[in-house]
Amino acid sequence: MDCHVTEALRFSLGLRPETSFIVAYSGGVDSTVLLHGLVALRNAGVIDRLKAIHINHGLSEHAQQWEKHCQLVCDRWLVPLKIFSVAVSEASSAGLEQAARSARYKVFHDELAKEECLLQGHHMNDQAETLLFRLFRGTGIDGLSGIPSSRPLGKGVLFRPLLSVSRTDIEAYACCHQLAYIHDESNDDRRFSRNYIRHALLPVIEQRWPGASQRLAVLAKESFQVNEQLRNSVIELTDAVIQTRPQWLLGNKPLLNITRLIKLKPLIQQQVVRYWLKKQSLPIPNRDLLEKVFTEIISARGDACPLLSWSDCELRRHQGFLVASKSQPVIDCISVHCWNWSQQSEYAYPPFGYLRLREANENEKNCLALPHDHLIELRTRDMIDSGMKVAVAGRSGRKTIKRWLQDFHIPPWLRQDIPFLFIMGDMVAAPGLWVCEGYQAKDGTGYKLDMHPMI
């Protein structure tokens, strides 16, 4: 059993002496065995630099004891240890497990430097559990790839060198070397799906079909290889259906052209949507939700404004495009914001974005002529008379703000958050959209209003 762990470490890491290895050390049996195996390789002169990192989630009454245990072990094995405490919301819409995972991965991402390699103790049984969990939840074919053995993380890389080693071998290694490790009681709570699979389901499967976990791990590896080929094709097809519409106040956010999307084969359509969301670091929907993207969003009637939400993602259709964004908190703007623009060139106005006034460059259009002795008032639509009409420079007629926003094709869900600029009761401009009559400057003169949306 000792040989299985040691050989897995040697083989899967490639053991480049110049690499700095960091073990994600929870104190549990898996990470303890991983750390001990690497300490042995360091002591044998196979690797040089070895550190550990411990995340205190603060979710257990024993969290402080576990932290002390990890520090004692690392001190004994001469391994530098960094400890981080994170705040995990038990009320998270994504669930407690996912909230804790997101919190620790943020630390890993921020801490990992170039040429550093973070090591985690996931093993063969974890791979089988993950595969079953995704199948039951309703994964796509990319989910069959299971836990990747490596991927970029922060400025470095994440490796899982024990995916070919079984839980039995890891526990035998710990017993053989008389390793002390902690037991997280939450791992016994079968209310969590992964724990239910681990304690209630997999043992029954293994009893009926011995070696099932190993075969599931092999399936995950083979699926990863097939998915890599499919992924390259999907990337090309996704790039072909992506467009941007900064004039809609969406910045450079990638939008999916629905007309182009539905010309693809149905299975490829789903893969394109999944990759498009992943590219934006948005949560991937399960199979049922993915089906609703097509039946409830794409197929909705033409004049509808459909919305589909899951986890921290909101997906909408607008003007023939799919638009996906992170969920934004509702902020009640009950007061007018005053911007002393001559003293403060930038102004943050959440959730809309950041505003900046600067001197116009030569030949720039839609520039502002502003009096220096007046503050700019920022008002949203609910602070403006709905019947108020304004004239837009370069456009004919006077229209209500609602009509102008429709003419400019601004997505309905953004319209309430736009801060309109006023001076002495007169509308001056709408960021990223228009300058009002009477406040336009000659091209290349006056001031240019830049905005960076928070989407």
Sole residue written with tokens 């497990």? 97
- Under the banding of pLDDT at 50, 70 and 90, the label for residue 51 is very high
* CA dist., res. 145 & res. 223, Å (int): 5
List pLDDT tens digits, range 188-218.
888 888 889 999 999 999 999 999 999 998 9
- pLDDT tens for each residue of 325-341: 988 766 555 578 899 98
Q: Copy the structure tokens of residue 323.
A: 């638009």
Reported for 247-250, long-range contacts at CB under 8 A and 24+ positions apart, including other chains, are: 247/408, 247/409, 247/432, 248/318, 248/319, 248/408, 248/409, 248/410, 248/411, 248/414, 249/410, 249/411, 249/414, 249/418, 249/431, 249/432, 249/433, 249/451, 249/453, 250/323, 250/411, 250/414, 250/453, 250/455
Residue closest to 323 by CA, chosen among 411, 406, 405:
411
Res 175 pLDDT > 70: yes
Q: How confident is the model at residue 392 (pLDDT cuts 50, 70, 90)?
A: very high
At 329-388, the pLDDT tens digits run 665 555 788 999 888 888 988 877 789 999 888 888 888 998 878 899 999 998 999 999
pLDDT at 289: 92
Query: What is the rounded average pLDDT of the residues 294-307?
Result: 90
Residue with more model confidence, 228 or 35:
35
Question: What's phi and psi for 396, nearest 5 deg?
Answer: -95, 150
Mean of pLDDT values over 213-228:
89
CB atoms within 10 A of CB 447: 19
- Rg of the chain in Å (alpha carbons): 28
pLDDT tens, residue by residue, 233-255: 999 999 999 999 988 988 889 99
Read off the tokens for 442.
């000659």
Going by C-alpha positions, the residue among 302, 245, 308, 248 that lies closest to residue 273 is 308
| CA 235/CA 394 separation, integer angstroms | 40
pLDDT at residue 59 tops 90: no
Distance, in Å, from the CA atom of 22 to the CA atom of 405, rounded to the nearest integer, reads 52
The pLDDT score that the predictor gives to residue 25 is 97
pTM (2 decimals)? Answer: 0.64
Cis peptide bond upstream of 329, omega within 30? no
Q: Per-residue pLDDT averaged across 415-442, rounded? A: 92
Supply the DSSP string of 292-305, one letter for each residue: HIIIIIITS-TT--
> What is the pLDDT confidence band of residue 428, given thresholds at 50, 70 and 90?
very high
Q: CB under 8 Å to 154, separation ≥6 — which residues? A: 108, 109, 110, 111, 112, 113
pLDDT of residue 94: 62
Where residue 9 falls among pLDDT bands split at 50, 70, 90? confident
Residues 6+ apart with CB under 8 A from 405: 415, 418
Q: What is the mean pLDDT of the chain?
A: 89
- Of 201, 54, 65, give the one whose Cα is nearest residue 131: 201
Residue 93, pLDDT score = 59
Amino acid identity of residue 338, one-letter, is: C
Contact by Cβ (8 Å): 434, 453:
no
pLDDT confidence of residue 48? 86
pLDDT given for residue 333 in this prediction: 55
What is the rounded distance in angstroms from the CA atom of residue 115 to the CA atom of residue 252?
31
DSSP string, 42-73: HHTTS--EEEEEEEE---STTHHHHHHHHHHH
Q: Which residues of 65-84 are buried (b: 16+ CB within 10 A; e: fewer)?
A: ebbebbeebbeebebebeeb
Residue 197 is classified by DSSP as: I
Give residues with Cβ within 8 angstroms of 247, minimum separation 6.
408, 409, 432
Among residues of the chain, what percentage have pLDDT more than 90?
57
pLDDT at 133 over 60: yes
Average pLDDT of 246-266? 93
- pLDDT of 92 > 90? The answer is no
**What is d(CA 283, CA 89) in angstroms, rounded to the nearest whole number?**
18
The first and second tokens of residue 433, run together, are 């959209």
**Residue range 56-66: average pLDDT?**
91
Spatial distance between the Cα atoms of 451 and 424, rounded to a whole number of angstroms: 22
Q: How far apart are CA 420 and CA 247, in angstroms?
A: 16
Tokens representing residue 400 in the block = 């209500």
The better pLDDT of the pair 346, 83 is held by 83
What's the pLDDT score for residue 2? 64
Q: What is the pLDDT of residue 1?
A: 54
Max distance between CA atoms of the chain, in angstroms, equals 85
260 phi and psi angles, rounded to 5 deg: -70, -40
Q: What value, to the nearest 5°, has the Cα angle with vertex 159 and ends 8 and 35?
A: 60
pLDDT score of 286? 86
pLDDT at 374: 87
Tokens 């939008």 locate to 255
Q: How far apart are CA 440 and CA 431, in angstroms?
A: 13
Given a cut of 80, whether residue 139 has pLDDT beyond it is: no
User: Does the pLDDT value for residue 64 go beyond 80?
Assistant: yes
- Note whether 210 and 202 are within 8 A (CB): no
